[in-house]
Chains A and B, each alone.
Chain A
């Protein structure tokens, strides 16, 4: 099935068949016809259309284009066919074409509904999809029902060429479309229903869902609606700009066009009311006069009199019944009697109408002349011509436009007759006074009420400047002799505001006045719609700009708070627009900033701690190496970037002994520094009590055991140098064994003393060892910073290299040896960072030639 209907051929075939079926059904009966049509269209729209190949196009725009143009072509074809069938077609053909068109209309509207549905259903919840689908469907179905469909078709044709908006997934365009749809829908219900019902006009309409007239009305309203949507959309768009800009653009895009529109419509209504008034005047005087004459001619008794009676009497008889309505009226009757033309006139006929009088040829040719000029007088002119038994009979009625008659008309219709002075000298105002009308192509001249109008206000309260608009209408008359039309006066029409907006047809309704009233109703509806649109758009504009302002204010406040250091501040915006994105970015930035600041603070804290620890450490270390006769003692301490915890110290024990301490606290920072301080004070205390090596070691071990956390240790080498006897008593707790270079033996040896570092076991005992020193001997105390120093290849400085360097400096001074070691170390670890503290203490027993 799906394959079969794919492609246009299948589709067209399907349509042809559907239409044929419908035509048959339509001939058989009517009741269920509409529902059957709709059912077929439903099935097509929801089961067949989705399977069509072009519906798989990626963009909805492309889908719609192909879709619309295919069906619009068919629809137009059908429409033209139907139009032709009005004149040439037979019954069944017309019926088939009609049903074909109906099916197409339903089909097209359903598929359009489907397209719109597909356009908006993306990403929506099921409930929303359903609701939207329903709304769209009802919308399009209603369009067919009201004939609005044709407008939609036209609009699609117009906009079909650039249907980008539909295919684009851009958010703003979607908003546009949605607004278009929704507003169209809302206004559809709000607009007075009467406007959608086609009036029964005598013009032949053609089938396009409705008559030509309603098409006009509807397209006009559609235009207004579209205008609104564009307005609303432009408002939404301008809402993305700054408030000032949006306000300006709002005024230019929304208010000014709308005000102009309202002004135009209002003006139109004023003109319409003028037309109505003119029409009423025309109908009361000229129309009724024509009617009267026509009736008279059809009466047999009158005909008889025309044939045989006195023509003066006839003329008098014509004038008598209407003399009260047309003051000064007179008649001229001409009848062919034999070869002569006899003429009769009514009473009061001016002499120049029966002496040397003849009805000119232009009157016979142009029966529509209503105002004439003869001599200095202006007249309403009604003319009738007929034949009675092969004899020609003519009747001409003249109503002079002057005095009494003009006053009557002025009073009756709230008008003012103003003669043009140049044309008609105002010497005899009364005789030149005129009225009445034939619509002049030169149009109306608007003259706002002046002082003159003010005067009239006092005379005529119902038509004052305050409650009416005054318009002047030019009057022209045809010259009796020459047949030329010339303007001779103007008619000032006072239109009260109630009359302008009134939908009443007046006392004498007619086709023409009904038509004008209808147009006026349309205008009124448009005006009301426009008025509501202004309110609506102002509301939308206000809302949008207010939302924008709120968002901006919140953003500004938030950013200021963040600027003042409140990093806990979160900017919360209710909308989900670009401002929201900005607020989110700022919130994220604040969070990042907070993290970053925390890091900075932490780093600063650590840096400060290290600095403090380093200061403590340095303050623990001896300021200078002791100067002891017979010995050369030098030291070097180089801290690592982060505190390593090396410690060394000298304690003079009376005049003949010197305690030398070197140690290394595992751990770093404050804790290492503190432990070192504790160690130093403990050492001082213990040395004061007893400087003996085992006792010192015992005390230190217990101190560290108590003080240090688990797994943190301190290595220590404590030794006491007897200056005079040249002996060294020492013990080591996990510390690197000091080196002894014995000049006598020429050997370098380690002063081994194997024990755990301090703090492993409570009450550990340490055995002291004692060695003898000779002149030229060296003692080298050091920490692991030297041994574990690494070069670029990751190689350790190591014990062997260290020993080699010591041995290569055994004939130099202690200072030279120290410098040699440091130089070697520097060269070895060139460029590599120092990871641990480096401590070196060298004691040389001076030889006699050194000055002992």
Chain B
């Protein structure tokens, strides 16, 4: 299990932001994502797309942080969606109940499309 540091890239659009991750989403990685999200939320962004195409592994703490993000986004009546998930992560998200409040899309385009309508 490689534990290289997670890289996070943020692309901010008019009414949404795309956060792309690369690497293992664990405690540190999750916090990095959370930090970016909360900063964007402070800037007024309400719609988030998390592209996890480059992340193949996620641990329980990583998931709990993602849940925390979802909860925060819901508090500000925002919208969060995941895209490009590996089958295992997709299933894990479903099991862990993340899909109750966050939509999952196959590609980033679909996710953007869903937001921009």
Residues on A close to B: CB < 8 A?
Answer: 664, 666, 710-713, 715, 732-737, 754-757, 760-761, 784, 787, 790, 794, 796, 798-799, 835
Once the chains are docked, how many angstroms separate the CA of A737 from the CA of B98?
A: 14
Q: Which of B60, B71, B91, B99 contacts A761 (CB 8 A)?
A: B71
A-B contact pairs, 14 of them (CB 8 A): A666-B61, A711-B30, A712-B64, A732-B95, A734-B96, A734-B97, A754-B97, A754-B100, A755-B100, A756-B96, A756-B98, A757-B63, A757-B96, A784-B60
Contact B88 A711 (CB under 8 A): no
CA distance A835 to B95 in the complex (A): 21
Do residues A796 and B2 form an inter-chain contact, with CB atoms below 8 A? no
User: Which residues of the partner chain B approach A713 to less than 8 Å between Cβ atoms?
Assistant: 60, 63-64, 67
Contact: A760 with B67, CB < 8 Å? yes
- In the complex, chain A residues whose CB is within 8 Å of the CB of B91: 799
- Known contacts A664-B60, A711-B64, A734-B95; 4 further A-B pairs (Cβ under 8 A): A712-B61, A756-B100, A787-B88, A799-B91
Q: How many residues of B contact A (CB 8 A)?
A: 20
The distance in angstroms between the C-alpha atoms of A760 and B71, with both chains bound, is 9
Cβ contact within 8 Å between A711 and B95: no
Q: Are A757 and B97 also in contact (CB < 8 A) when A666-B61, A711-B68 are?
A: yes
Q: Which of A715, A732, A734 has the most CB of B within 10 A?
A: A734
User: Shortest Cβ distance from B96 into chain A, in angstroms?
Assistant: 4
Q: Interface of B with A (CB < 8 Å)? A: 1-2, 30, 60-61, 63-65, 67-68, 71, 88, 91, 94-100
- Taking the closest CB of chain A, its distance from the CB of B74, in whole angstroms, is 10
Q: How far is the CA of A784 from the CA of B61 in the complex (A)?
A: 14
Contact B100 A757 (CB under 8 A): no
With a 10 A CB-CB cut-off, give which of B2, B30, B96, B100 has the most chain A CB atoms: B96
Instruction: List, in ascending order, chain A residues with CB within 8 A of B68's CB.
Output: 710-711
A790 and B60 in contact, given A754-B99, A760-B71 (Cβ under 8 angstroms)? no
- Bound together, the chains give a CA A664 to CA B91 distance in angstroms of 17
**Contact flag A794-B97 (CB < 8 Å), given A666-B64, A756-B67:** no
CB distance from B98 to the nearest CB of A (A): 8
The smallest C-beta distance from B75 to any residue of chain A, in angstroms, reads 11
A761 to B97, CA, bound (A): 12
Asked if B97 and A756 make an inter-chain contact with CB atoms under 8 angstroms apart, the answer reads yes
In the complex, residue of chain B having the shortest beta-carbon distance to the beta carbon of A756: B97
Shortest CB-to-CB span from B13 to chain A, Å, is 29
A737 CB contacts on chain B under 8 angstroms: 95
| CB-based nearest B residue for A790 | B1
| A711, A735, A737, A787 — most chain B CB neighbours (10 Å) | A711
Q: Which A residues are CB-close (under 8 A) to B63? A: 713, 757
CB-CB < 8 A to B30: which residues of A?
A: 711
Q: In whole angstroms, how far apart are the Cα atoms of A757 and B98 in the complex?
A: 9
Q: Please give the distance in Å from B73's CB to the nearest CB on chain A.
A: 14
Alpha-carbon separation in the docked complex, A713 to B88 (Å) = 20
A710: nearest chain-B partner, CB-CB: B68
Contact residues in B for A733 (Cβ distance below 8 Å): 97
Closest to A764 in B: B97
- Minimum CB distance partner of B30 in chain A: A711
The contact of A794 among B1, B64, B67, B95, by CB within 8 Å, is B1
Task: List the B residue with the shortest CB-CB distance to A759.
Answer: B64
User: What residues of chain B lie closer than 8 Å to A666, measured between beta carbons?
Assistant: 60-61, 64
Q: Which residues of B contact A736 (CB under 8 A)?
A: 95
Give the chain B neighbours of A790 by CB distance below 8 A.
1
Chain B residues with Cβ below 8 Å from A754 are 94-95, 97, 99-100
Alpha-carbon gap, A787 to B57, bound state (A): 12
Residues of A within 8 A of B88 (CB): 787, 796, 798-799
Output the residue of A736, A755, A756, A787 with the most chain B CB within 10 A.
A756
**Distance of A733 Cα from B98 Cα, bound (Å):** 11
Cβ contact within 8 Å between A715 and B96: yes
Chain A residues, Cβ within 8 Å of B99: 754
A715 CA to B68 CA, complexed, in Å: 15
* Smallest beta-carbon distance B89→chain A, Å: 11
CB-CB nearest 9 A-B residue pairs: A666-B60, A756-B97, A734-B96, A755-B97, A711-B64, A713-B64, A754-B97, A760-B67, A734-B97
Least CB distance, B90 to chain A, in whole angstroms? 11
Residue of B1, B68, B71, B100 with highest tally of chain A CB at under 10 A:
B1
Least CB distance from B1 to A in Å reads: 7
Tell me the smallest distance from the CB of A512 to a CB of chain B, in Å. Answer: 102
Residue of chain B at shortest CB distance from A665: B60
Q: How far is the CA of A756 from the CA of B96 in the complex (A)?
A: 5
